[in-house]
């Protein structure tokens, strides 16, 4: 089975993976989830957070594993896993983008979103007083992120979602075909997504090809709304990667 490293998205922490982790572990996978620096319960001052530091953090997590990992990023976590793959491609067996931003080199997340939205700003994002952070308005947690999740789990998310460092949105992604480009990519689409609409997800994985592409009939956060279906999708992607590696090894041994 696989070692799966989970990277959460904006305004979230490792708390969001709690319903999913035991389902993956029951399928025989080792699962590693961390709070990105400054997020969740991590005490790092958010003013000290950057995309580079998050990349360093996850590179350190990946490198201490006993095998190349399946690295999954949700939403904004997509830019983190892309940067990690560029840094340590041999330590990543597969990248999995879960309703995530899959961007070309040189693009910033903020610039990309502004361009595809025609410059319109998301009304649910509330800038911090210093302009360096943002939070999500209370009503948007259910309406935008958890629109198909059970009410009791929506309340958990409402209590847990925190501030996001906006410097990350303005940092250009850096990737090359020789490093990031050689790591296999998969994409898990979410059909009822109001945060990263399905059409945008499709446009991203059409521009940077992924295989397989799995579609879930859920909101932006299937780890709460449909953890069983999400676990099955990740298991399928991870197991296919293991089988591919085993087949290549067997072929090379002949």
146-201 confidence digits (pLDDT tens): 999 999 999 999 999 999 999 999 999 999 999 999 999 999 999 999 999 999 99
Q: Is 135 exposed, middle or buried (0-12, 13-18, 19+ CB in 10 A)?
A: middle
What pTM was computed for the model? 0.93
Helices (H), the chain: 21-25, 51-63, 77-87, 109-116, 138-140, 151-160, 198-207, 222-225, 227-253
Per the CB < 8 A criterion, the answer to whether 201 and 190 are in contact is yes
Angle, helices 51-63 vs 77-87, to 10°: value is 60
Q: Is 24 exposed, middle or buried (0-12, 13-18, 19+ CB in 10 A)?
A: buried
CB 175 within 8 A of CB 193: no
Domains in the chain, ordered, with CATH? 3-253 (3.40.50.1820)
DSSP string covering 226-247: -HHHHHHHHHHHHHHHHHHHHH
Position 254 pLDDT exceeds 50: no
Q: Is 135 helix (H, G, I), strand (E, B) or coil?
A: strand
| 250: pLDDT strictly greater than 90 | no
Neighbour tally for 158: CB within 10 Å? 16
Does position 77 have pLDDT exceeding 90, yes or no? yes
Dihedral (Cα; 193, 149, 189, 77), 10-degree rounding: 90
With tokens 């491609």, the residue in question is 89
User: How far, in whole angstroms, is CA 252 from its chain's centroid?
Assistant: 33
* Tens of pLDDT, residues 121-161: 788 899 998 889 999 999 999 999 999 999 999 999 999 99
Q: Distance between CA atoms of 133 and 136, rounded to whole angstroms?
A: 11
Q: Is the dihedral of CA 52, 103, 75, 8 positive or negative?
A: negative
Query: By C-alpha distance, which of 22, 18, 17 is closest to 7?
Result: 17
The confidence score (pLDDT) of residue 241 equals 55
Q: Give residue 165's pLDDT.
A: 95
Q: What DSSP designation does 187 have? A: E
Q: Is the pLDDT of residue 235 over 80?
A: yes
* Contact yes or no for 195/74 (Cβ under 8 A): no
Mean pLDDT across the stretch 218-244? 89
Specify the long-range contacts of residues 245-250, CB closer than 8 Å, at least 24 apart. Answer: 245/93
More confident call, 151 vs 245: 151
């Amino acid at each position: 089975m696989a070692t799966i490293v989970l990277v959460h998205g904006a305004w979230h922490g490792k708390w969001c993976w709690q319903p999913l982790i035991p389902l993956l572990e029951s399928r025989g996978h080792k699962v590693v989830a961390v709070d990105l620096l400054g997020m969740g319960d991590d005490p790092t001052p958010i003013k000290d957070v950057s995309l580079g530091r998050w990349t360093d953090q996850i590179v350190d997590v990946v490198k201490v594993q006993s095998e190349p990992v399946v690295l999954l990023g949700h939403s904004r976590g997509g830019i983190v896993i892309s940067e990690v793959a560029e840094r340590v491609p041999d330590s990543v067996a597969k990248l999995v983008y879960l309703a995530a931003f899959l961007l070309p080199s040189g693009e910033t997340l903020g610039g990309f979103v502004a361009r595809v939205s025609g410059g319109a700003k998301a009304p649910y994002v509330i800038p911090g007083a210093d302009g360096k952070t943002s939070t999500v308005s209370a009503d948007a947690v259910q309406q935008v992120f958890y629109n198909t999740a059970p009410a009791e789990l929506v309340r958990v998310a409402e209590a847990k979602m925190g501030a996001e460092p906006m410097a990350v949105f303005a940092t250009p992604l850096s990737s090359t075909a020789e490093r990031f480009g050689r790591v296999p990519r998969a994409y898990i689409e979410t059909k009822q997504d109001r945060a990263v609409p399905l059409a945008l997800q499709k446009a991203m994985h059409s521009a940077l090809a992924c295989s397989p592409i799995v579609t879930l009939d859920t909101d932006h956060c299937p780890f709460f709304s449909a953890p069983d279906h999400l676990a099955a999708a990740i298991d399928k992607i991870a197991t296919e990667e293991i089988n591919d590696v085993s087949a290549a090894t067997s072929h090379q041994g002949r």
